Amino acid sequence: MARIFVTRRIPGAAVERLAALHAVDVWDGALPPAPEVLRERAQGCEALLTMLSDRVDDELLDAAPELKVIANYAVGSDNVDLAACAERGVAVGVTPDALTEATADLAFALILAAARNLIAGHDAVRAGEWRTWEPAGWLGHDVHGATLALIGPGRIGEAVARRAAGFDMEILRVGRHEDLHAALARADVISLHCPLTEATRGLIDAAALAVCKPTAILVNTARGAVVDQGALRDALQSGRLAAAGLDVTDPEPLPPEHPLLTAPNLLVLPHVGSATHTARARMADMAAANIDAGLAGEALPHPAA
């Protein structure tokens, strides 16, 4: 029987299954445990089931020398110091695939909502500002037939491409070796799907936004820090960019007084790309499978890259 700490209550039955075999401690708070609390609860544990809001760093790993496996409840692993884990022989697992379609659905919802001004229209109705059918009111941009640049065309990017095919969109796939600025200059819709690495931090900066069409829409369901948020605010404020839909920000949560929120034509969601009942339960199953394998000293079925 191993000791496992789960840093939040998660949907699905996977944690119950783990608890039938192991001593499982689940953090019951409405907010993540503070780093010092996480270190304390991790002491003596052989496995941790962590969220993207937990930092897995040297300090945590030093506090829990028995650790064999970290199962991160996310497809991303940018909250985990992978090199520090590798040095200590701690395996790190993630939850790919489980959330691909849910995140692609959300990216498409953001594309449509940002392009067609859905939030402004909805707010106007609720505020009693809808007085008549407006020939020039709440105008947006066509999604059908538009050119879509997928920045980081991996699993989720390809799932967005499948949806875009139904809208007759032209797809530009921009991987590490393609010319980002050339694609941005052609795109009507830009959707970000790259992991956060040192190479992609601030990838969409002032220079990148400067080459975008002023009618372009930017959607981010990847990681907030891929976008230079100051540059994004300026681009939206000056009309250099038509609209943006963000599911991810830096920091998370974004404080209500954050300057980014003063920008016009901006829709921000609280990082809900994978937030469907099915996706979150499947992510839990994958995290549990990673823990089972890690505790058994086997290769993880879903290792972090």
Least distance between ligand DGY and beta carbon 273 (Å): 5
Q: Which of 3, 193, 271, 282 is catalytic?
A: 271
- CA 97, chain centre distance (Å): 13
Q: Which is nearer to ligand DGY, 185 or 289 (CB)?
A: 289
Instruction: Report the site for ligand DGY in 68-87 (rule: CB under 6 A).
Output: 74-76
Q: E strands within 117-253?
A: 147-151, 170-174, 189-192, 217-220, 243-246
Q: Is 223 a catalytic residue?
A: yes
Q: Which is nearer to ligand DGY, 96 or 294 (CB)?
A: 96
Q: Rounded CA gap, 33 and 54, in Å?
A: 8
Which token pair is 90?
């701690």
According to CB under 6 A, which one of 4, 15, 18, 52 is a site residue for ligand DGY? Answer: 52
Q: Rounded CA gap, 237 and 133, in Å?
A: 27
- 99 lies in the binding site for ligand DGY (CB under 6 A): yes
Helix (H) or strand (E) holding 212: none
Instruction: Report the site for ligand DGY in 168-227 (rule: CB under 6 A).
Output: none
DSSP 8-class letter at 254? P
Q: Which is nearer to ligand DGY, 76 or 140 (CB)?
A: 76
Q: Which of 162, 252, 277, 298 is catalytic?
A: 252
How far, in Å, are 56, 80, 182, 235 from residue 207 at the CA level? 33, 30, 12, 11
Q: Is 271 a catalytic residue?
A: yes
- 152 lies in the binding site for ligand DGY (CB under 6 A): no
DSSP 8-class letter at 149? E
**Quick one: which of 53, 54, 30, 52 has its CA closest to 41?**
54
Least distance between ligand DGY and beta carbon 76 (Å): 3
Q: Which of 223, 233, 282, 302 is catalytic?
A: 223
Q: Is 46 a catalytic residue?
A: no
Instruction: Please list the active-site residues.
Output: 223, 252, 271
Chain residues binding ligand DGY by CB under 6 A are 52, 74-76, 99, 273-274
